[in-house]
């Protein structure tokens, strides 16, 4: 199968607060607003990736073909690559972002850390060895 990432989609408890957080904290750009099946949707761009934020209700008709209707399952985390992990974490701390895992060195020189976004979205911050 030949594929590439098209987008990530997150359900938000407060759409406006989530849009603001991604803009002000990570520098995401708002690209469009729409309404899908009566639910507001905001398209954003971050690090070359499109992601969608919606205020969809927690219980929606099953449109994915999945056997589960729970909104608590799905995306575990997404990763953002940075040139300097320590600088990135210092910046995020200055924005009062919750650090859920302090910077950690992995085998091969990869450094990772995790932060918490709106609605408990887990975001990995990663610095790969050059």
Read off the pTM: 0.71
User: In terms of DSSP bridges, do strands 77-81 and 122-127 run parallel, antiparallel, or are they unpaired?
Assistant: parallel
Instruction: Quickly name the fold that domain 1-58 has.
Output: 2,3-Dihydroxybiphenyl 1,2-Dioxygenase; domain 1 (3.10.180)
Q: For residues 127 and 83, is the Cβ–Cβ distance under 8 A? A: yes
d(CA 83, CA 97): 19
Distances in whole angstroms, Cα of residue 127 to Cα of each of 83, 88, 106? 6, 10, 10
CATH number belonging to domain 76-130: 3.10.180.10
Residues 6+ apart with CB under 8 A from 75: 8, 10, 121
* Domain range annotation of the chain: 1-58, 76-130
pLDDT by residue for the chain (130 residues), tens only, comes to 666 677 888 888 889 999 999 999 999 999 999 887 778 889 999 989 988 898 866 554 444 444 444 454 567 788 899 999 999 999 999 999 999 999 999 878 889 999 999 988 889 999 988 7
Q: For residues 104 and 111, is the Cβ–Cβ distance under 8 A? A: yes
């Amino acid at each position: 199968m030949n594929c590439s990432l098209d987008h990530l989609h997150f359900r938000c408890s407060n759409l406006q607060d989530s849009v603001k957080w991604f803009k002000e904290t990570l520098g995401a750009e708002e690209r469009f607003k729409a309404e899908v099946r009566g639910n507001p949707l905001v398209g954003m761009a971050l690090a070359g990736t499109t992601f969608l934020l919606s205020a969809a209700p927690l219980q929606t008709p099953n449109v994915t073909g999945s056997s589960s209707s729970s909104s608590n399952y799905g995306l575990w985390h997404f990763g953002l690559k940075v040139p300097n992990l320590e600088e990135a974490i210092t910046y995020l701390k200055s924005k009062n972002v919750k650090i859920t895992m302090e910077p950690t060195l992995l085998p091969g020189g990869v450094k990772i850390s995790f932060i918490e976004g709106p609605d408990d979205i887990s975001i990995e911050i990663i610095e790969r060895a050059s």
